[in-house]
Amino acid sequence: MSRVYKPSNYVVEKSRIPSFDKYKEMHKKSLDNPEAFWSEIADEFYWQTPPQPGNFMSYNFDLSKGNIFIKWMEGAVTNVCFNLLDRNVRNGYGDKIAYYWEGNCPDDYSRVTYRKLMDQVCQFANALRDCGVGKGDRVSIYMPMILETVVCMLACARIGAIHSVVFAGFSSDSLAERMSDCKAKVLVTSDGAWRGEKLLVLKNICDEAMEKAKIKHKHEVPLCIVVSHLGRVTPCGPLPDDITTLVGIYIY
């Protein structure tokens, strides 16, 4: 810890917070006048209904004064997906790289621009709508770290659905419990993924989880959407002979 590596002047000039003194100044403002501080941040976003002055934040941490609560920007309306994608495309960043993907093997990687990512998100959002998913519906995501995971989350945000991410290393029992607890309407997964030299056959785990959710937890997930991933990446070992049985409903 005795070594200190200072950033170059170029990095400092491009930084949002160029010095520790600036950080302390912003932190103090966030404590002394949180409404003014966060209003400046909120002004950077697109709002269908902007936050109203005087109604930006309210809270109570004192039980003697009633229920504990925190409320932010009550009545304001925006869309996270629109702010991440549409706004950047409209501002001229459509051909800029929005997302870098590095896979399990060094040969597996991809790049996607804001415009391309927006197109993919819109396509999947429409697919979810065609499957009957709407505002307030829950979508379980049991996926490896691939581009479609981001696409799925943003598509849910775009149409007002609620996504629940389940770590793709969890067992079928854990996945079944989480789908049942959130009353998932759709499960999104991939046929499989490599983690190091280990092959994870995710679709098989999902099949087991959906069956357990139905039998043990009395919750039926009517649809499983599967990303065909294994065929486009470098294999790190032999594939099982029955890998073709993984083919299910490939909407994406």
Residues 59 and 85 in one domain: no
Same structural domain, 192 and 87: yes
Residue 244 pLDDT class (50, 70, 90 cuts): very low
* Residue 28 CB-density burial (10 A; 0-12 exposed, 13-18 middle, 19+ buried): exposed
Residue, of 53 and 193, whose pLDDT is higher: 193
b/e code 30-47 from CB counts within 10 Å (16+ = b):
eeeeeeebbbeebeebee
Asked if the structure places residue 145 within a domain, the reply is yes
Among 48, 72, 96, the domain-final residue is 72
pLDDT of residue 243: 58
For residues 239 and 199, the answer to whether their CB atoms sit within 8 Å is: yes
Q: Are residues 170 and 145 in the same domain?
A: yes
Is position 48 within any domain?
yes
Q: CA nearest 34: which of 6, 59, 7, 2?
A: 59
DSSP for residue 49: B
| Res 10: pLDDT | 93
**Rounded mean pLDDT, 14-18:** 90
Confidence of residue 1 (pLDDT cuts 50, 70, 90): low
Average predicted confidence (pLDDT) for the chain? 91
94 in the same domain as 30? no
92: which residues sit within 8 A by CB, 6+ positions away?
A: none
Is residue 61 pLDDT above 80, yes or no? yes
The reported pLDDT for the residue numbered 249 is 40
Shared domain check, 216 and 113: yes
Does an H or E element contain 10, and which? Answer: helix 9-14
The CATH number assigned to the domain holding 199 equals 3.40.50.980
Instruction: Report yes or no on 3 lying in a domain.
Output: no
13 and 35 inside one domain: yes
Residue 211 lies in a domain: yes
Structure tokens at 143: 């996926």
Distance CA 216, CA 228 (A): 29
Same domain (yes/no): 137, 200: yes
* 207 pLDDT more than 70: yes
State yes or no: pLDDT of 25 exceeds 80. Answer: yes
Query: For residue 118, which of 162, 83, 78, 146 has the smallest C-alpha distance?
Result: 83
pLDDT at 251: 40
**Confidence band of 235 (pLDDT split at 50, 70, 90):** confident
In this structure, the dihedral spanned by the alpha carbons of residues 170, 144, 203 and 238, taken in order and rounded to 10 degrees, is -110
> Are 90 and 115 a contacting pair, CB within 8 Å?
no
Q: Confirm if 138 and 164 have CB atoms less than 8 A apart.
A: yes
Residues 61 and 123 in one domain: no
Is residue 251 assigned to a domain? no
Domain boundary among 46, 72, 98: 72
Write out pLDDT tens, residues 214-234: 999 999 999 999 999 998 988
pTM of the model: 0.83
Average pLDDT over residues 60-65: 93
Check whether residue 219 and residue 148 sit in a common domain: yes
- Mean pLDDT on 65-78: 93
The CA radius of gyration of the chain, in Å to the nearest whole number, is 22
**Cα(142)–Cα(161) distance, integer angstroms:** 16
Structurally, the chain folds into a number of domains equal to: 2
Based on the fold, state whether residues 110 and 130 are members of the same structural domain: yes
Residue type, 124: F
> What pLDDT is recorded for position 168?
94
Q: What is the pLDDT of residue 47?
A: 94
Give residue 66's domain range: 9-72
What share of the chain in percent tops pLDDT 70? 94
